[in-house]
Amino acid sequence: MNLHQRERLRTEAEALEARRQDALEQALTLAFWEALERGPMPPMAALEAAARTVGTLYRQIASLHGPAPRCGCGWQPEPDEDLIRLEAMLAAALIERNRPRLADLPVQGRA
């Protein structure tokens, strides 16, 4: 396999991973809003429940990948590093600004 083929496969794998992440994010978002519509609760209480759920999911997944892994993906949990990574993702999501789409930008001249 040449360099071009390896690069194409890597790019395709990254695109597939991004689509899977997008699908999971959409499913979680939908479930979150549907739960709030069924029974209103204060926003922070709902977000705390979501955070607890993510922590529980991490613990369950880590137990499948620990010293005697029952999954063949090769991931090894590193609780301290993983927590830092999850906190960083949360912080980035809190401060991320919506970027304007090209179609929404005002026209600045003619080409």
Distance set, CA 69 to CA 65, 74, 79, 83 (Å) = 4, 8, 16, 20
Q: What is the spatial distance between Cα 32 and Cα 27, in angstroms, rounded to a whole number? A: 9
- Note the pLDDT tens digit of each residue in 5-48: 889 889 999 999 999 999 999 999 999 999 899 988 999 999 99
- pLDDT given for residue 101 in this prediction: 67
Average pLDDT, the chain: 89
Close Cβ partners of 79 (under 8 Å, ≥ 6 residues apart): 62
Amino acid identity of 57? L
99 falls in which pLDDT band (50, 70, 90)?
Answer: low
Where are the alpha helices (H) located in 39-78, listed in sequence order? Answer: 43-64
